[in-house]
Chains A and B, each alone.
Chain A
Amino acid sequence: MSQSISLRDAERKVFHTAVNDGLWDIFLGCFFLMFAITPFLSERLGDFWSSVIFLPFWGLVYLAIRFVRKHVITPRLGSVKFGASRNAILMRFNLVMLVVNLIALVLGLIAASLTSRIPGQATSIALGLVLLAAFSFAAYFLGIGRLYIYALLLGLAPPIGEWLWVNHLTSHHGYPVTFGVISGIMILTGIMLLLRLLRSYQAARDDFQADGG
C-alpha cells in the first residue's frame, strides 16, 4: 500500500463530505445579496426597514435549506455526528467568530455615530478588513479552501465599490455591483456543489435504511 493512512485526513474527509453540499454557499450568497439590494430599498424604506425586510427572506431561505438537507441531502449522503476533535475545532471557530462579530458591531456603532466625520473610503476599508478576517478565519478553522477566495472577494468589495462610486461609475457606493457579483458567485458555487452532489450520490432505498442492508 503506497498511500499513507492518516486518521486526521480521514476525519477531514468525513467533515468535508458532510459540509460540501453547497447549501451554506447559497445561504451566504443570499445574505450578501442584502448588501446589493438594500441601497435601492433604503431610498424608499429608510436604512432600518430596508434591512429588516430581509429577515423573512433569510428565514425562508434557511427553511428551504433545512428542507433540502433533510429530504434531499441526508437520504443521499447519510448522517454523521462529529467526534470530540472536530467539536473542539468548531468551538474555537465559534469563539473567534463571536470576537470578530463583536469587533464588527463596535466598528459599526462608531461609524454610525460619526457618519459625517469618517471618510467613506475608511469605512469601506474597515468593513472589507472585517469581512476578510471573518472569512479567512472560517477558511482556516474549517479547512475549506474556497472560503479564502470569498474572503478576498468580500475584503475587496467595499473599497472597490467606494472607488467606483467616487469615480461616478456606479451608484450607492458601488455595493449593488460588487456585492451583487460576489453573492452571485457564492450562489452559483453553491448550486454547482449541490448539483455535483446530487449526481454523485443516489438516494438510498428505504428498506436499506431500515435494516442496514
Chain B
Amino acid sequence: MARTEVEPDLHPLVEIDQVIHASARLMVLTYLYVVESADYIFLKNMTGLTWGNLATHLNKLEETGYIKSAKSFQGKKPHTTIYLTERGRQAFQEYKRSMQQVLDDLPD
C-alpha cells in the first residue's frame, strides 16, 4: 500500500514553491532577480525559450503576483517591461533558502 503521509524530514521539499520550481520560470526569475527590469526580447534571448513558452510562464508568474509588466511606447511601437515585485523577490529568496536547506541536508 502506497504511503500518503509525508516523511517529516522531507517537509522542506513539499514546501518548495512549485510556481518557481519549474525550470523555465526559475530561469526567468533568476534573471529578473539580478536586474531592475528587462523586456520580452531580452528575457527570450537570455532564457532561450520560445515566444509562446515565455509568454505562458510570464503569465503564470504575473498571476501569482511575482512579476509585473509595464506597457509603454517607444516611438510608435508598444514596449513591455517586466520587473520582479517585492512579493516575487521574497518568494525567490525563500525558494533559494529552502532549496539550499534541502540540498545541504542530503547525505553524500
Q: Give which listed residue, A5, A17, A78, contacts B40 with CB less than 8 A.
A: A78
* B26: min CB distance to chain A, Å: 8
> Is residue B60 contacting chain A, with contact meaning CB distance below 8 A?
no
Q: Tell whether, in the assembled complex, residue A81 and residue B52 are in contact, meaning their CB atoms are under 8 Å apart.
A: no
Q: Tell whether, in the assembled complex, residue A209 and residue B77 are in contact, meaning their CB atoms are under 8 Å apart.
A: yes
Q: Tell whether, in the assembled complex, residue B69 and residue A212 are in contact, meaning their CB atoms are under 8 Å apart.
A: yes
Q: Tell whether, in the assembled complex, residue B34 and residue A79 are in contact, meaning their CB atoms are under 8 Å apart.
A: no
Q: Give the distance in Å from the alpha carbon of A206 to the alpha carbon of B54 in the complex.
A: 16
> Is residue B39 contacting chain A, with contact meaning CB distance below 8 A?
yes
Determine the main DSSP class of A at the interface with B: helix
Q: Tell whether, in the assembled complex, residue A76 and residue B41 are in contact, meaning their CB atoms are under 8 Å apart.
A: yes
> Is residue B21 contacting chain A, with contact meaning CB distance below 8 A?
no
A187-213: which have CB < 8 Å to B?
A: 201, 204, 206, 208-213
Residue among B43, B45, B54, B77 with most chain A CB within 10 A: B45
> Is residue B64 contacting chain A, with contact meaning CB distance below 8 A?
no
Q: Tell whether, in the assembled complex, residue A78 and residue B35 are in contact, meaning their CB atoms are under 8 Å apart.
A: no
> Is residue A88 contacting chain B, with contact meaning CB distance below 8 A?
no
Q: Give the distance in Å from the alpha carbon of A133 to the alpha carbon of B73 in the complex.
A: 42
Q: Tell whether, in the assembled complex, residue A82 and residue B35 are in contact, meaning their CB atoms are under 8 Å apart.
A: yes
Q: Tell whether, in the assembled complex, residue A10 and residue B52 are in contact, meaning their CB atoms are under 8 Å apart.
A: no
Q: Give the distance in Å from the alpha carbon of A212 to the alpha carbon of B40 in the complex.
A: 6
Decide: A78 near B34, CB < 8 A? Known: A17-B45, A201-B45, A211-B80: no
Chain B residues near A77 (CB-CB < 8 A): 41-42, 45
Chain B residues near A86 (CB-CB < 8 A): 35
> Is residue A112 contacting chain B, with contact meaning CB distance below 8 A?
no
Q: Give which listed residue, A14, A80, A213, contacts B54 with CB less than 8 A.
A: A213
Q: Give which listed residue, B30, B40, B44, B58, contacts A10 with CB less than 8 A.
A: B30
Decide: A209 near B80, CB < 8 A? Known: A7-B30, A10-B30, A13-B46: yes
B contact residues vs A (CB 8 Å cutoff): 30-31, 33-46, 51-52, 54-55, 58, 69, 77-82
